[in-house]
Amino acid sequence: MSTYSGVVYGIIFCLISAASDVFVAYLTQSINSAIVIFYCFISSTLLFMMISIFKGIDQLIMKVRKNTLLVLIVNVSILLNWGGLIISLRFLEPAIVGVASVACGPAITILLSSFIDKGEAKTEKLEVVISWLVLIGVGVMLVNVFLGNSGLPSSSIQDRIIGIVSVIIGAVGTVLYTIFSKKLFKEKWQTYEILSVRSILMVILSFCYVSISDVSLSLDSEMIFPMSILVIIGHLLPIYLVLKTINAITPLHVSLLFLLIPVFTILFQYFDSRIAFSVESLIAASVIVSLLTILGVSKIKKDKKV
């Protein structure tokens, strides 16, 4: 797949993901987060497992046996990524979640790649400087959120702490998923094969949580349609697009491309009546995205010279 195709897939993913983040933030006010997670991930696992069976289950079993550790790490990264995302969207302004999730991406990618994948660890001084500036900017932004300066000022301190911790965990999960999915592609895995095994841990844990709690998997009639839209358009399509993107471009470029998510999220979130306009959130998003845009342009120019 060409780099151009990967970028196109990535942009479409960012657009859908931003709209999905806002929708999930709204939906989780009425439905327990565990139910949202369960329905999304059981649907994707069953769908892509059926495709894998149709294509040849023996081949998938051989790959799982060969790359058991990678499959496990991908499952854990999905748990961190989506668990952190959905929980943080319940307690924080979607734009804040979008910015924090992707702004940490390039810096965490540079850091983790130096330990995990030496081939993706080559960085320039500008990249390191901007990455640290961005992390500082995210820190300042999250402190502002903790102090109640966001589009959801009525949330409690406990809710903000849970949201802040969750969004950081989600950011780490996103980078780990990108790096280790890339490794699976290098081991000749197909997109549908990764999607058939990547969410097993999420399905098991969410089902166990629902089983031992007072939460019911049944949905009210008025929630069936919104949940169906979320599963199909907000989950199945994006997870396919993001793997196509990861397969085509480097982990750092993936992290840079994801910077479009908070831009789209800011535009979409005001359709949610709960969200008030926040100058602090807009400024924080603008500064961080501007810094990362400089980093992205620098990276592209360097690659062209090479």
**Per-residue pLDDT for the chain (306 aa), expressed as one digit of tens each?**
556 676 777 778 777 777 776 676 666 666 777 788 888 889 989 999 999 999 888 999 999 999 999 999 999 999 998 888 878 877 777 767 777 777 776 667 766 665 665 555 555 677 667 777 777 777 777 777 777 666 565 567 888 888 888 888 988 888 888 889 889 989 989 989 999 999 999 999 888 888 888 777 777 777 788 888 878 887 788 888 888 888 777 776 777 677 777 677 666 666 655 556 666 666 766 776 677 677 666 666 665 655
DSSP state letters, the chain: --HHHHHHHHHHHHHHHHHHHHHHHHHTTTS-HHHHHHHHHHHHHHHHHHHHHHHHHHHHHHHHHHTHHHHHHHHHHHHHHHHHHHHHHHHS-HHHHHHHHHHHHHHHHHHHHHHH-GGG----HHHHHHHHHHHHHHHHHHHHHHTT-SS-TTS-HHHHHHHHHHHHHHHHHHHHHHHHHHHHHHTT--HHHHHHHTTHHHHHHHHHHHHHSS--S---HHHHHHHHHHHIIIIIHHHHHHHHHHHHS-HHHHHHHTTHHHHHHHHHHTTSTTPPP-HHHHHHHHHHHHHHHHHHHHHHHHHHH-
pLDDT at 116: 61
Question: What distance in Å separates the CA atoms of residue 51 and residue 240, rounded to the nearest whole number?
Answer: 13
pLDDT at 12: 80
Supply the Cα-derived Rg of the chain in whole angstroms: 19
26 touches 147 (CB < 8 A):
no
**Exposed / middle / buried, residue 88 (Cβ in 10 Å: 0-12, 13-18, 19+):** buried
pLDDT at 159: 82
Question: What distance in Å separates the CA atoms of residue 250 and residue 246, rounded to the nearest whole number?
Answer: 7
pLDDT at 184: 92
46 touches 135 (CB < 8 A):
no
pTM of the model: 0.74
Q: What is the residue whose two structure tokens read 């199909």?
A: 232
Nearest to 108 by CA among 214, 179, 32: 179
Q: Provide the 10 A C-beta neighbour count for residue 258.
A: 24
Question: What are the C-alpha distances in Å from 281 to residues 16, 152, 277?
Answer: 21, 10, 8
DSSP state letters, 206-230: HHHHHHHSS--S---HHHHHHHHHH
pLDDT at 132: 73
pLDDT at 207: 86
Domain boundaries, the chain: 3-304
172 — phi, psi (to 5°)?
A: -65, -45
Q: At what angle do helices 3-27 and 260-269 cross, to 10 degrees?
A: 30
pLDDT at 276: 60
